[in-house]
Amino acid sequence: MWVYEKKLQYPVRVSKCDPRMAKLLLEQYGGADGELAAALRYLNQRYSIPDKVIGLLTDIGTEEFAHLEMIATMVYKLTKDATPQQLDAAGLGPHYVAHDSALFYSNAAGVPWTAAYIQAKGDPIADLYEDIAAEEKARATYQWLIDMTDDVDLQDGLKFLREREIVHSLRFREAVEILKEEREVRKVF
Amino acid sequence: MNAHPFHTEEYRQALEQLQVVDFVLLELNLYLDTHPWDVQAIQQFNHYTHERMKIANQFQEKYGPLQNYGHAYSGCPWSWIETPWPWQV
Ligand SMILES: [Fe+2]
């Protein structure tokens, strides 16, 4: 069960209408290492991971949905005042003719999200290493997104998200150690 | 003319106060997920949980429910469906 909270995790501000950045941000909306993939990856892994790590996957998976909402808010704010001509000039013409101003789960190149982006190996170490890699890839993408804009308000929100990936990666690394320790204990007795 | 309560500096500050305490709690929560025996962190978590309740109640009295499904009281008409939604703030 989930309960919705009617607020963003962190304030999202943008200082201008910028459909070009909105298009690029879609990478973190419906891309391979984006927030939707992250949330679904972690929450889905919970059912086969050892008990000691279920809480962490639940909590990080849930936080990813808060990040997804932040990205959606950025895209919404960056495009809400754009004309179809401006969207087209930013490369969002194909998006506009299919979706008008609706958001859609695709990456920055317009490729729709697919479950093939997320793995579920059932092997706890393999799954956690995938999670660590996903966090590092998301961190790298946030850095490149920050590099692509001079909007300091937008950068502020993106920097928050970049830092969250670093913390998630750290926690997943600790989870790996916890499972390794547990395995050692089992060998001893 | 009075400014809409959601377009005021006061609202922005109240929201930020809530976001700050929630961030502290989220960080402690994730930390405790992998350090379940850290009694100091647990004390901090319980302390801020109490603080959070006070801050959230004050916020909700002024600006309406933060959560659905019976986690917050409603005024009449039904407050939950009122704007702004988070992306509209
Ligand atoms: Fe993450």
A95 included as an active-site residue = no
Owning domain of residue B18: 9-64+72-88
Confidence grade of residue B1 (pLDDT, cut at 50, 70, 90): very low
Count the domains in chain A.
1
Per-residue confidence (pLDDT) for residue B3, from 0 to 100: 62
Q: Do A7 and B34 touch (CB under 8 A)?
A: no
Distance CA B53, CA B65 (A): 13
The structure tokens listed for A98 are 């299919």
CB contact under 8 A, A59 and B33: yes
pLDDT in tens, A113-168: 999 999 999 999 999 999 999 999 999 999 999 999 999 999 999 999 999 999 99
Separation between Cα atoms, residue A71 and residue A77, nearest integer Å? 10
What ipTM was reported for this prediction? 0.95
- Is residue A9 within 8 A of residue B19, CB to CB? The reply is yes
A146 touches A155 (CB < 8 A): yes
Active-site choice (A27, A63, A67, A95) = A67
**What was the pLDDT predicted at A183?**
86
**Residue A69 bears catalytic tag:** no
Indicate yes or no: CB of B86 within 8 angstroms of CB of A69. yes
Q: Collapsing DSSP states into helix, strand and coil, what is residue B67?
A: strand
CB A144 within 8 A of CB A110: no
CA-based nearest residue to A172, from A70, A64, A66, A28: A64
Question: Which pLDDT does position A185 carry in this prediction?
Answer: 83
> pLDDT, tens digit, for every residue of A94-109?
999 999 999 999 999 9
CA–centroid distance, B24 to ligand 1, in Å, is 17
Tell me the chain B residues in contact with residue A76 when contact means C-beta distances shorter than 8 Å.
87
Q: Which amino acid is residue A42, in one-letter code?
A: Y
Q: Which domain holds residue A115?
A: 19-184
Across the strands, what pairs with A112? A106
- CATH code of residue A117: 1.20.1260.10
Q: Report the pLDDT value the prediction gives residue A159, as an integer from 0 to 100.
A: 98
pLDDT tens sequence across A62-71: 999 999 999 9
- Closest to B33 (Cα-Cα) out of A179, A58, A62, A66: A58
Q: For chain A, positions 77-106, list CB contacts with chain B under 8 A.
A: 77
Structural domain includes residue A159? yes
Whether a cis peptide bond, with omega within 30° of 0, leads into A50 is no
Among A7, A72, A171, the residue with its CB nearest the CB of B33 is A171
Contact flag A69-B29 (C-beta cutoff 8 Å): no
CB A142 within 8 A of CB A95: no
Does any domain span residue B4? no
B29 within some domain: yes
